[in-house]
A and B are shown apart, each in its own frame.
Chain A
Amino acid sequence: MRRPIIGLNTQTDTLLNVAPKNQVNVRLEGVSLEKRLRRKRSSAFVEAMTRLDAGGVVASKQKVQELIDRIASEFPELAEIQLPLGIVSRCYLGEPYEIHSLDSRLEIIEHYKRGETAPNGLEKARRLALHPSYAYIEVYTNMMCAVTHTGEVSIIKE
């Protein structure tokens, strides 16, 4: 179960979802996990991840939650702990901002100026995020996935 955000939604809706949902039966590890992460990302997902700054400098909690949900639904086979620590991409808000990140653990979108260090291990993605060939970078605990605008994935292990 995903972590609910306290105070965001006090109403309980009962929805009948008939869409087939993949269950995490066997936890992917090692080579099979890498194989899954190499799979091409859907264009809608890439599009969503490249528009982290669409809401301006401050993003609403609802928007952040939507994006985090998108990540979880893009990787239904992964356990929560295996999902990206965050998404980093080039910031188009203009100077002085250089990159921005969606921190999945802290559930915030943050914009970083040049020379300002992104916390929680997201800083390591800055170089690739600034490269025009990549739409965004997924940061995991021991690797990064650089995703192109067409959804192709390259893995950089640590």
Chain B
Amino acid sequence: MSDQVVSRADLSGINSSLRSLDRTLDTINNNLHAVSQQVAAVSLQVNAVEQQVELTKNDLDKLTAEFREFVRQDAMMKNLQLAETRLVKIRQELENKYGHYEEVRRRAIGILQAVDSSLVRKETIELASEEQLLAAPRYWLAPCLVALSAWLNDNRELAEKAVIEALRRDDEKTSLFFALVTRRGGRYQSSSAWLERYLGQQDPNELKREIVVLVDGFSNGIFGLEARKRCGVLIKNWLDELSQKPGFVEAQREQWKNALLAKTERLDPSKFPHLQQYSPTWPQLQQALEGAHLHDIIFQYFNFILMQEVVPTKDLAAAVDQLLDILVREFDTEELPLRRDERLNELIIQQDGDKEAAQHLFDNEKLVEEKLDFTQLLTNFAMYPDESNASVATQKLAVALSKEWIKDAHRDLTAENRNAVPLDVEIQLDDWTGVSRDGSNEAELVGQLDQHLQNKKREALKKNRLGFGNWLALAAGAGFFYFGLETTFLLVLSVICVLVFVYGLFKQRKNKKNIEKAFAELFENHKQILLAVLSDIVDYRREYEAADANAGKIEEVLDPVTPEQYVYSTHDSARTVI
């Protein structure tokens, strides 16, 4: 057996390689640790950036809202200016297109009054009337004037021819015109015949606006006893006929709801400033309060109409002249498209340039329509007396005839309004939200606000800690001190690093104080705002309750009203004299 020598393996190389690998792993480990710390630092920075982005977004939202409001205001201003310019143009166009009718209109009343005073020769009247016929072709009033002058001259043949022509041009207006003229002249039989002719052509579903002249004549006692009775029965029949239509009462209620809502006035913008600024519930609160104020507005309106004294005109001739003036001036169908534009532009001006609101009002009021049903006319007489040329007596009569529908509509409006008042009012101060019903939970809300701000403060303080740089400086300072006991340069570096750490620590302490101070101030500030908002809520509830209590006054003022008490018989006693 030969001895075999096994030499000892030299593992030093492997050992050193392993040590080297170990060191490398340590380095990698350290590097990974450093990376992880850096990632944490970046994450903190990302959080900070996120907060900044959130703040910027809020600012941007606010700016967008402000910009939109600015654009809206600007558009409204432009609409307003445009409407004013258009109104002038429309009126000029009316003047240019139909101005020559004015002469005919003035002469109609002029002839009647000239005959009263016997100051003008019959030939002059005849000549003037014939001239008007030439000057205003197609106009219904011109042949009426010729007929009138022929009648005054006892020229029966011409009078009849002219009347036929006038009837051909506009039967209804001519009939009404002669009913009034003959009534003025005390020709009762003729007046009744003309009136019958006019009434025979009326359909309560499709009445023309000039019916106001008839209703005015009826309510002011201009027609004689017999005609008044006839009109009274007719109005009753019309209402009965319309009531038979399915859905009539509902339609009336809606019509009156719209008419009453149109009286809503905007709330004074200086009221409840804190609620306006800090409550997201404000739009609903505002709308509800405006609706509650409407009760008093409506009450005052009807009370004024019903309490207003009807001043009778000095004699029948003057009263008829007033009606004739309205008849010949206001209701020419040719002018309707322009009159409609005129009204819409008037409403745009009234609504300070808010086109949508104006269009909504225009669509609901139906003032300038060619044909309307009798009840819509009654609504117009009651709510828009100037625009529908209704006298005080007619207004009173219209309210009396419509009182049940008004009461129904108002009752529904009231319930809708009461249902729309928010029970709880939300309060928002930055990102804190609280709820109050009547402003009485002050202590609870202040406690919630305090708790919310304390939490936010804690979060802010948590974020206010020493950064990675500071701790690195401290570690580096300690390292440099350890290795640099004999090297001045490293010692100096160590001192610098420690100083950096101490500065960071000082800054952190200072920040902490600032944060605590800022949150204390914020709490005090928010608390004051909160108290002001709660006080506004108390005032709001009080004001709403007072305004809402007025709802009952409308039924009180309307209940005793009857149509009979508003049909006047002012001129009946004068019948024997005329």
Contact = CB atoms under 8 A, between A and B. Distances in A.
Contact of A155 (B247, B412, B421, B551): B412
A61 interface: no
A156 B250 contact: no
B573 interface: no
Interface in A66-98: none
B411 interface: yes
A12 B113 CA distance: 90
Contacts of B246: 31
A117 B250 CA distance: 33
Contacts, number: 35
Nearest to B417: A156
B423 interface: yes
B423 A126 contact: yes
Interface string B104-135: 00000000000000000000000000000000
B419 A156 contact: yes
A52 to B, nearest CB: 20
Contacts of A133: 418, 551
B386 interface: no
A127 B418 contact: yes
A152 B408 CA distance: 10
A128 interface: yes
B276 interface: no
Given A155-B412, A156-B415, A31 B423 contact: no
B521 to A, nearest CB: 33
A156 B412 contact: yes
A35 interface: yes
Contacts of B421: 127
A152 B410 CA distance: 13
Given A152-B411, A154-B412, A156-B412, A128 B419 contact: yes
B247 A146 contact: no
Q: Which of B246, B249, B411 has the most CB of A within 10 A?
A: B411
Contacts of B419: 127-128, 144, 146, 156
A154 B414 contact: yes
Contacts of A38: 408
Contacts of B415: 128, 134, 146, 154-156
Interface string A121-133: 0000011101101
By Cβ-Cβ distance, the 7 closest A-B pairs, closest first, are A154-B415, A154-B411, A146-B415, A31-B247, A131-B418, A154-B412, A156-B415
A107 interface: no
B423 A127 contact: yes
A105 B113 CA distance: 77
Nearest to B414: A154
Given A31-B246, A31-B247, A31-B250, A156 B416 contact: yes
